[in-house]
């Protein structure tokens, strides 16, 4: 058995997802909310392009993140992590554990987004702390002169969840390191004062503004949709990074559908 590190599977972060996204390829993912290693592995093995481990709203904690990363990254699926909040140490810790990408919630200004991108990148491109022995730096297999190359592997997904973010979206899309502008539909609609009115003219205009800004700067527009029936419509309006619900949603829907069918069979 070879002990040459070059013969082993690549250490995360892996560049494939970011390359595909920036090349304009549509990708499909699922949110992992249950905090279950088994669910994470099952989802990843199902063939999704990416699985998003949700530390903001999901059941998992930061201490449980590593196991889910390993479960997802044992498959071709990429592991994206939504951090608890945009803070230097939280961003750095998740990257040190080897996430293929980060989703950053609740930012509204270009200054805040630039600061977060700075924390995501090693010098001289940013101010991420250099610890060559971490999983995200290849367990000391990446020589110091090449560590900067890891900056190009990490996908940066920044959420658009407020009117202020929508207003600034063209400026946000122009920032190097903002690869995906991802609409949080529930948060955005509530903040706009039209909770859950996803078909309203006001909400549709916001969606189109995000898509236009992303396209103008060679970035991807992203969206969390309710189910696969909505995919074609969102792709048609320029959305290419699509989350199709969550593991918890699949369990709830499957359980209800099976129970309803069983009760119907009982007459």
When pLDDT is averaged across residues 206-214 and rounded to a whole number, the result is 98
- How does pLDDT run across 36-86, given as a tens digit for each residue? 999 999 999 999 999 999 999 999 999 999 999 999 999 999 999 999 999
- How does pLDDT run across 77-133, given as a tens digit for each residue? 999 999 999 999 999 999 999 999 999 999 999 999 999 999 999 999 999 999 999
Which DSSP letter does residue 244 get?
Answer: E
Q: Are 97 and 136 in contact (CB under 8 A)?
A: yes
Q: Is 80 helix (H, G, I), strand (E, B) or coil?
A: strand
Which residue in 57, 144, 190, 217 is the catalytic one?
A: 57
pLDDT of residue 12: 87
Cα distance between residue 233 and residue 235, in whole Å:
6
pLDDT tops 60 at residue 156: yes
Which structural domains are found in the chain, ordered by start?
A: 5-266 (3.20.20.60)
pLDDT of residue 267: 86
Cα distance between residue 84 and residue 58, in whole Å:
10
The torsion angles phi and psi of 223, rounded to 5 degrees, stand at: -160, 145
Q: Is the dihedral of CA 66, 67, 73, 77 positive or negative?
A: negative
pLDDT of residue 4: 65
24 pLDDT band, cuts 50/70/90, is: very high
- How does pLDDT run across 4-14, given as a tens digit for each residue? 656 667 778 98
How many contiguous H segments (helices) and E segments (strands) does the chain have? 11, 8
Pick the closest to residue 176 from 128, 136, 241, 116 (CA basis). 116
pLDDT of residue 7: 65
- The verdict on whether omega for the bond into residue 215 sits within 30 degrees of 0, i.e. cis, is no
**In the chain, how long is the greatest CA-to-CA distance?**
70
pLDDT of residue 5: 58
Half-sphere exposure of 156 (CA within 13 A, CB side): 24
Catalytic site residue 217?
no
Which DSSP letter does residue 181 get?
Answer: E
Whole-number average pLDDT of the chain = 95
Cα distance between residue 243 and residue 111, in whole Å:
27
- The verdict on whether omega for the bond into residue 125 sits within 30 degrees of 0, i.e. cis, is no
Residue 151, token pair as written in the block = 């900056």
Q: Are 208 and 227 in contact (CB under 8 A)?
A: no
pLDDT tops 90 at residue 2: no
pTM: 0.94
Q: Is 69 helix (H, G, I), strand (E, B) or coil?
A: helix
Residue 138, token pair as written in the block = 């290849």
């Amino acid at each position: 058995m070879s002990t040459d590190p070059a013969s082993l599977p690549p250490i995360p972060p892996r560049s494939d997802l970011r390359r595909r996204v920036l090349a304009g390829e549509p990708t499909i993912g699922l949110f992992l909310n249950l905090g279950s290693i088994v669910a994470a592995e099952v989802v990843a093995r199902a063939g999704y392009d990416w699985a998003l481990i949700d530390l903001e709203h999901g059941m998992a904690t930061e201490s449980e993140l590593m196991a889910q990363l390993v479960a997802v990254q044992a498959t071709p699926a990429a592991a994206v992590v939504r951090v608890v909040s945009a803070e230097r140490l939280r961003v750095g810790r998740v990257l040190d554990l080897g996430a293929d990408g980060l989703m950053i919630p609740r930012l509204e200004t270009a200054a805040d987004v630039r600061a977060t991108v700075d924390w995501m990148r090693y010098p001289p491109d940013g101010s991420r702390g250099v610890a060559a022995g971490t999983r995200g730096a290849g367990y000391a297999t990446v020589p110091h002169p090449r560590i900067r190359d890891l900056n190009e592997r990490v996908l940066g997904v920044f959420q658009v969840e407020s009117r202020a973010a929508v207003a600034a979206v063209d400026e946000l899309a122009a920032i190097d390191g903002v690869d995906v502008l991802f609409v949080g539909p529930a948060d955005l609609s509530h903040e706009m004062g039209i909770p859950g009115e996803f078909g309203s003219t006001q909400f549709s205009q916001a969606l189109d503004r995000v898509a236009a800004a992303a396209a103008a700067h060679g970035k991807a527009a992203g969206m969390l949709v309710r189910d696969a029936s909505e995919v074609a419509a969102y792709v048609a309006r320029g959305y290419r990074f699509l989350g199709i619900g969550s593991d918890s949603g699949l369990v709830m829907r499957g359980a209800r559908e099976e129970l309803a069918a069983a009760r119907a069979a009982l007459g």
